[in-house]
Amino acid sequence: MKTITFIGNGNMAFSIAEGLKNDYKIELVGRDINKLQEFENRLGVVVQKHLLENFNIESKTLLLCVKPANVVEVGEKLKGKADVLYSVLAGTSLEKLRSNIKTYAVVRTMPNLAASVQNSMTTLTGDIAYKDEAQKLLSSIGSVRWLSSEKEIDIATALAGSGPAYLALIAESLADGAVKQGLKRDDAMAIMRGLFSGFGDLIQEVHPALLKDGVMSPGGTTAAGYGALEDGNVRASCINAIEKAYKKATQL
């Protein structure tokens, strides 16, 4: 079994290790031995545990799962040169990764919040030679999509990385609307969750425009509600949200 070396023992490392633990040996590198032990206990498989200070990354396959602000400090503590570095760090460029951690190849990946339920939409870019392995590793936490540039991963971050917040706003406000019309809060929340669950499956099969056409009968209730969303500029606001989030990502 191939070994994957996690640098960092937080939530993202745990979610990915959960998906990989049956097919790979897990090695875990962090700064607190008690947390490494706790990680192993929760994961329920044997984990090779090491402290960060002077850890030798020579010829290893690394999965970097620390915070973006820790890259310089972590890089200073490692020795040797890795075969490949897979990073999950938001907004951290290939150049910054390469200049702080010695490695022959780098792949940048961008999971989203749904990694915690093993259903992330993860985008990837970097050394093309590692495309297949990167996709295989990150599919352990959901869907993957390889992109051809860092510009594209920044745009995709505005869509899939920030997307859960945008959909949460829609989810909460639709439920609020139902409560405003007299539905009990518990019922409104349960119905909203069911709506998103079914919609999540449907949108895999049907183009959004056809979905909308399919449910909107002439002069009917959906058409009335849909008109209100257009009055509220929801479409333009969504397009604008992606632009603002992408621009912000390029300024970080």
Ligand X SMILES: NC(=O)c1ccc[n+]([C@@H]2O[C@H](COP(=O)([O-])OP(=O)(O)OC[C@H]3O[C@@H](n4cnc5c(N)ncnc54)[C@H](OP(=O)(O)O)[C@@H]3O)[C@@H](O)[C@H]2O)c1
User: Rule CB under 6 A: is residue 66 a binding residue for ligand X?
Assistant: yes
User: Rule CB under 6 A: is residue 112 a binding residue for ligand X?
Assistant: yes
Number of residues that bind ligand X (CB under 6 A): 26
- 193 HSE (CA, 13 A, CB side): 6
Q: Which of 23, 68, 206, 227 binds ligand X (CB under 6 A)?
A: 68
Residue 132's φ and ψ, nearest 5 degrees, are -65, -45
User: Rule CB under 6 A: is residue 89 a binding residue for ligand X?
Assistant: yes
Q: Which residue has the tokens 């290893």?
A: 60
The interface region with ligand X, picked from 64-72, 134-142, 175-183, 193-201 by CB under 6 A, is: 64-72
- 9 HSE (CA, 13 A, CB side): 24
The least distance separating ligand X from the CB of residue 30, rounded to whole angstroms, comes to 5
User: Rule CB under 6 A: is residue 53 a binding residue for ligand X?
Assistant: no
User: Exposed (0-12), middle (13-18) or buried (19+): which is 220, by Cβ within 10 Å?
Assistant: exposed
And the tokens for 32? 């607190």
User: Rule CB under 6 A: is residue 74 a binding residue for ligand X?
Assistant: yes
The least distance separating ligand X from the CB of residue 111, rounded to whole angstroms, comes to 5
Could you give the maximum distance between any two Cα atoms of the chain, in Å? 70
User: Rule CB under 6 A: is residue 153 a binding residue for ligand X?
Assistant: no
The residue among 35 and 179 lying less far from ligand X, judged by its C-beta, is 35
User: Exposed (0-12), middle (13-18) or buried (19+): which is 247, by Cβ within 10 Å?
Assistant: exposed
C-alpha to C-alpha distances, 22 to 3, 14, 17, nearest whole angstrom: 11, 14, 9
Site string for ligand X, 6-25 (x = CB under 6 A): --xxxxxx------------
List of residues contacting ligand X (CB under 6 A): 8-13, 30-32, 35, 52, 65-68, 70, 73-74, 88-90, 110-113, 115
